[in-house]
Structure 1
Amino acid sequence: MSTRLNLEDLPPRYRAQAEAQIARRTREKCTTTQQTLADAAKSAGKIGKTFESRGEYEYYISVILPGIESGRIIKATPHVAFPLLPAKEYGNVKLPAARYTADYVLVYADGAVEVVEIKSKFTRWAQRDYIYRRRLFIDLIAEPKGYKFTEIITPDSKDEIREWKRLAKQAGRSEKL
């Protein structure tokens, strides 16, 4: 006798771990060529959504859509901006407001809230203030409100790898990347 186990049967911690593994396997199977990016854009247009990256698209298709269809996810909001620090002046220095914009905020049927951030290795490196904004967001908003925070690091695209090599060459490092 065979018993089939569904993701919904798992406790939240293990379900999230399984969903992350499924998303990772899906990403590994995808190739990042211009044709697949064009296909992704066409598919995104068909469902009426716009995505800032291929990683966001893949996460939406592989995790969010099935979650909404199964009823586990009741609300998925893209690109929510959370204010971290207000703008102010200190002496003659004008300090701009600081905010953190998450890729997705998911509200589950059990009331849990998950904030999802999807970054490529290159983008994470290029946005040097990201790690500080992430830390402020976790300390000031996510922890006090009990939000779960998930960060997904996607493989670099061919263009990003090319940019890594250009930057390494510019810095005088000739080792292979």
Structure 2
Amino acid sequence: MSNARHLGYRDELLADGQVHRRYEDGRSEWRRRGTDRQIHWHDSLGRSGTDEPLGRDLVKRRYADGTAEYGRDLGYGRTVWGGGLVTLNRSSFGGRLGVVVGALGVAGVAAITAAQLPPLALSEVEEEELRQQARQQTSGGGGDGGGSSNGGGDISADGDGSGEHHGDPGSPGSTEDFGDWGDSDDGWDGDDFG
């Protein structure tokens, strides 16, 4: 997929427990963790919605208007969205690792295969199966988990509402996984930014 676009973002934990996500295209998104395994968000363009982990490496971004899109976590803070947008979390890595991840973010765009693209649509039954897998993974339950082994589910957002990857995911569906949702509800950890 040589024509993929990439968009970086940085997350900042705010005193009230929300995360302020700043995209390199100038957009901002405010994210808060819900008790329902979802991230609730609103952005500087007036949009809002939720990001939900599905299975091992998928995330469903649902907009307030009822539309939805899917992203796939590629690891190292990268998420690819159905419209060919790759979001890259630049806030998680520093130093030498940050340079390597930055290079992967750009070079990795050309390495994205059709198998790594997220589905354009899933049935309710398919989504529920993936939710069950995600619950098993976070509760330590068995099962094959499906998906890839890089774990996580980016939660980036796009922002133009065009029907093609709504905007530029660097918003709600960022690039980190949902981490251990069994951890305390008193704040975010490094895995919650995605």
Which of the two has higher C-alpha Rg? 1
**Fold match (TM-score > 0.5):** no
Q: Which has the higher contact order (CA 8 A, sep 6+)?
A: 2
Name the structure with the higher helix share.
Answer: 1
